Amino acid sequence: MASPLSLLVLFPFIFTAASSLTCTTQKVTDAANRVYANCVDLPALDSFLHWTHDAANASLAVAFLAAPPSPGGWVSWGINPTGTGMAGAQVLAAYSKSGGAVTVKTLDLKSYSVIVPGKLSVEVWGVRGEEVGGVIRIFANVKVKGESVNHVWQVGPSVTAGRLDKHDFAPANLNSKGTLSLNGKQTATAKVDAVTTKKNIHGILNAVSWGVLFPLGVIIARYLRTFPSADPIWFYLHAGCQVSAYAIGVAGWATGLKLGSESVGIQYSNHRNIGITLFCFATLQIFALFLRPVKEHKYRYIWNIYHHGIGYSVIILGIVNIFLGFNILNPEKKWKSTYSAVLIALGALAVVLEVITWIVVLKRKSNKSTKTYNNGENRQQPLNM
């Protein structure tokens, strides 16, 4: 175990190493060996941006720093003059060749699937790149308008024959965008854009429908019908919950389809496939409401198997897909914790009602058995002499 004295001796070095992970401790200069006027620790992908804005000629001198996720990978930075995401961005991408030289390419991201190398729609000059200690630096001057610009950045694992290979689609990769204030009064923070708003709406709708209302409707049907006094109120409550859940779920499903159509090249296969299956099962469950035979019908038991099987499948698939959605959207921890708490509360309620239901059923059977015994022919008959 290290002594306090040795820790005291090592502390300056530990502090220096930790501090080197912030932009303020990095010494980065432009082509004229001048320190940039501003810098910011970007909120995703362990990246940094140094910049100087010249309002007189509407230019922005930048130095972007990031380490590729693996040796031979690439990094990129750019501005988006038409939106807030990757689509439409004018990008500078850099990677190291085997000899150590850094190549910088200009890329026009027409969409997530259409990337055109060559001249950008914005004026760029003084482009160069270098690698220092595994970190790639991109230097450039960009013509800008206004007091802020939307910018994006990214890192990728590899380069094949001069072509950038696809980057990961983890939350950090998808959140690597923001707005840079050129007056130095604000840092580059990610804004909630229209796409993120749609994702939030999609998540809330589906969490409420498949994750709360649908399980609640099943709890009502399973436990309240045990009590004769709750008949037929339990059925209307059950049907109301399920129909409401389906209506809200359809809205959430529609927003998911819209998001998918607007995110060409980005696909979450598991989340998408489960969502489609969930919607189909839920639609079948709604049909069950209109195909419900009377209790005395000879095929009622088949309907029960179908209705219960599809219902429990919807609950399981819904909960699984909601947590997959949390991993994709990567919201603040409180949202996932809140839904988990609601889920635990529903589970606890189901356990308590299950115990009460069994007590009622067993007591009812016991009373019925006693009544049958007393009303039968089990009394002692007088002996015939």
Which residues are part of a known binding site for heme b?
A: 202, 238, 271, 307
Strand locations in 73-134 (E) = 74-79, 90-96, 102-109, 115-117, 124-132
* Torsion on CA atoms 380, 382, 383, 385, rounded to nearest 10: 180
Cα–Cα dist 18/30, whole Å: 25
Nearest to 316 by CA among 269, 267, 268, 277: 277
Do residues 273 and 291 make contact, with C-beta atoms less than 8 angstroms apart? no
SS3 of 115, please?
strand
DSSP 8-state code for residue 230: G
Q: Known binding site: residues? A: 202, 238, 271, 307
Do residues 198 and 259 make contact, with C-beta atoms less than 8 angstroms apart? yes
Cα distances from 355 to residues 105, 286, 317, 350, 352, in angstroms, run 67, 29, 26, 9, 5
Cα–Cα dist 101/292, whole Å: 72
Radius of gyration (C-alpha) of the chain in whole angstroms: 32
Q: Torsions phi, psi of 58, nearest 5? A: 50, 50
How many alpha carbons lie under 13 Å from residue 166 in its C-beta half-sphere? 9
Cα–Cα dist 171/355, whole Å: 42
* Torsion on CA atoms 97, 98, 100, 105, rounded to nearest 10: 0
Amino acid at 131: E
DSSP 8-state code for residue 227: S
Q: Torsions phi, psi of 362, nearest 5? A: -65, -40
- How many other β-carbons are positioned within 10 Å of the β-carbon of residue 224? 18
Structure tokens at 22: 């912030």
SS3 of 18, please?
helix
Do residues 85 and 193 make contact, with C-beta atoms less than 8 angstroms apart? yes
Do residues 125 and 113 make contact, with C-beta atoms less than 8 angstroms apart? no
